[in-house]
Amino acid sequence: MPTTFGRELLGRDVLDASSDKLGTMADFSVDMDTGSIVALLVVIDNGIDPKFLPWPTADGLLSVPVSEVANIGSAIQLSR
């Protein structure tokens, strides 16, 4: 995923594989050696307990690897 496209993702809804809203895209993590986006940083919606999710959280943001992204449109669809 090119980093120039990354800014356009901020504020979009992030949906799980069932199209349920997981949260909102807040930021992204970049590999400083390659310049590639490696993870989406997501503000988790209220009522979702992050300890039941398969990805780590740090500073209140869920870190979802870009390999989990199935589709990007008006929302970001995850593969699981």
| Domain range summary for the chain, segments of one domain joined by + | 3-78
How much is the pLDDT for 71?
94
Give Rg (Cα) of the chain: 12
Residues 1, 39: Cα–Cα separation, whole Å: 10
- Whole-model pTM: value is 0.87
**Would the pLDDT of 43 be above 60?**
yes
Residues 13-39 have pLDDT tens digits of 999 999 999 999 999 999 999 988 899
How much is the pLDDT for 9?
81
Residues in the chain, how many?
Answer: 80
| CATH no., domain 3-78 | 2.30.30.240
* Long-range contacts of residues 44-52, Cβ cutoff 8 Å, at least 24 apart: 45/21, 48/22, 48/23
